[in-house]
Amino acid sequence: MSKAEWENNEEIKIFREYLRIPSVHPNVDYTGCVEFIKRQAASLDLPVDVEYPVNDANPVVIVKWLGTQPELPSIILNSHMDVVPVFPEHWTHDPFSADLDDEGRIYARGTQDTKGIGTQYLGAIRALKAQGYQPKRSIYVTFVPDEELGGILGMQGFVKGQYFKALNAGFCLDEGCSNIDDSYFIFYAERTAWQIRFKVSGTTGHGSQLLPNTAAEKLHYVMTKLLEYRTSQMERIKGLSNKFSGEVTSVNLTILSGGVQNNVLPPLLEAVFDIRIAIDVDLVAFEQQIRDWCAEAGSGIEIEFERKDEFSPATKLDASNPFWTAFQNSLNEQNLKCTPIVCPGCTDSRFLRPLGVSALGFSPMKNMPILPHAHDEYTRADIYLHGIEVYTKIIPAIASV
Ligand SMILES: CSCC[C@H](NC=O)C(=O)O
Ligand SMILES: [Zn+2]
Ligand SMILES: [Zn+2]
């Protein structure tokens, strides 16, 4: 297709319209997204609900396609409306113009993470309805807020409410990630996210003195232990076939603060570590190890969990999971390869799996750079349109299980 053809393509127009809504953190205004999705539901002649599970600023929009056997566990097609901040000075295109270049690249925040799958779901439903298809299982296309901040005001609150329970969800497709080679990543599990603030108190005094029990010495001990553990995990990655997967525990120092003046020993130093714990790690033992390191460093160290997710079980990828079988068979019939991996980041699927909802993270992008949260995030028009075709085959396969 030519640039003009892509620009005149109705699905591409809808996608670019969604991308131009600046639902960007911090303080996202979801009004534009809600109105856009309502318009899309109307164009599909589908009913739509808007729920506010946590507060009025964080809507969950649900486009509903009732199945012929609504008593069966339903299918959720999930994506999030919010996108992470941008640094426009580092972008070659305006992050919210959805520019399309001569090669068909569409540049905008959210192209990969994760507005694309939201409108692709709707494009696939448009095609299926045009074919006269009617799903056996009810299908709910959910658009949630707050995923990028952890989903507390979005999916986490939504799954606790009566509205969600009434959906009787059995399976969910959620966001995945692009892959640089010719195989789709499939997220079947994710690590447990802990973000820990270490608040270290110590001796204060004159910066010229070598006093004992300073905050710096104790923080240095704890940081050294954590960063040594990080090194051990990096060693493990060397032996893995897929280095992107969340097979090992990641440890990253993300915030370091404290001190009042350059010649005063600080009474308090703080460090925040973002830790994503591998699915085969004993969480109780891991926490005890961290607390032991703090005890070894000395007194006056307080541990504050800014995020302490619970363990989320993996989705079964075997014959015991008919949704997985149907999904995999559909990809095989389309001669498409997939690579199941543990999601390196966190997604809203972590709130669904513990409830028995079989969730797969899947974004139909391959032979593409991995650009979530990156400058110049983009996808390609041809890949986007092919993704709609892929969903047009996958959705009936899973909805007829
Ligand atoms: C840890 S909860 C925040 C969720 C976020 N998800 C995608 O980027 C992530 O940091 O993985
Ligand atoms: Zn995302
Ligand atoms: Zn993200």
**In this predicted model, what pLDDT tens digit does every residue of 47-102 receive, in sequence order?**
999 999 999 999 999 999 999 999 999 999 999 999 999 999 999 999 999 999 99
Question: Which atom of ligand 1 is least distant from the CA of 372?
Answer: 8
Q: Give distance in angstroms: CA of 295 to centre of ligand 3.
A: 35
Contact 267, 204 (CB under 8 A): yes
Percent of residues, the chain, with pLDDT higher than 90: 98
pLDDT-based confidence at 227, cuts 50/70/90? very high
Question: Which atom of ligand 1 is least distant from the CA of 193?
Answer: 1
pLDDT-based confidence at 201, cuts 50/70/90? very high
At residue 74, the pLDDT reads 98
Q: Give distance in angstroms: CA of 268 to centre of ligand 2.
A: 35
> 13: which residues sit within 8 A by CB, 6+ positions away?
7
Provide residues with CB under 6 Å of ligand 1: 148, 150, 193, 307, 345-346
Say whether pLDDT at 396 is over 90: yes
DSSP-derived secondary structure letter, 310 = P
Token duo for residue 393 = 């085959």
Q: Give distance in angstroms: CA of 128 to centre of ligand 1.
A: 32
Q: What is the mean pLDDT of the chain?
A: 97
Q: Tell me the per-residue pLDDT of 321-346, one tens digit each, with 9 for 90 and over.
A: 999 999 999 999 999 999 999 999 99
Beta bridge partners of 252: 274
pLDDT-based confidence at 245, cuts 50/70/90? confident
Say whether pLDDT at 392 is over 90: yes
Sheet with 99-100, edge to edge strand ranges: 99-100, 105-107, 378-380
Q: Give distance in angstroms: CA of 175 to centre of ligand 2.
A: 6
Q: Give distance in angstroms: CA of 147 to centre of ligand 3.
A: 7
Q: Give distance in angstroms: CA of 11 to centre of ligand 1.
A: 28
What are the two backbone dihedrals, phi and then psi, of residue 176, each rounded to the nearest 5 degrees? -120, -135
Say whether pLDDT at 244 is over 90: no
Question: Which atom of ligand 1 is least distant from the CA of 373?
Answer: 8
Question: Which atom of ligand 1 is least distant from the CA of 276?
Answer: 1
pLDDT-based confidence at 242, cuts 50/70/90? confident
Say whether pLDDT at 241 is over 90: no
* Largest Cα span, the chain: 81
Place of tokens 């570590």: 273
CB under 5 Å of ion ligand 2: residues: 113-114, 175
Contact 52, 60 (CB under 8 A): yes
**CA-wise closest residue to 279 among 360, 188, 348:** 188
Mean pLDDT of 173-193: 97
At residue 183, the pLDDT reads 97
Say whether pLDDT at 113 is over 90: yes
Question: Which atom of ligand 1 is least distant from the CA of 150?
Answer: 2
Closest protein CA for atom 3 of ligand 1: 150
Residues marked active site are found at 82, 147
Mutate to test the pocket of ligand 1, among 109, 148, 192 (most ligand atoms within 8 A of CB): 148
Percent of residues, the chain, with pLDDT higher than 70: 100
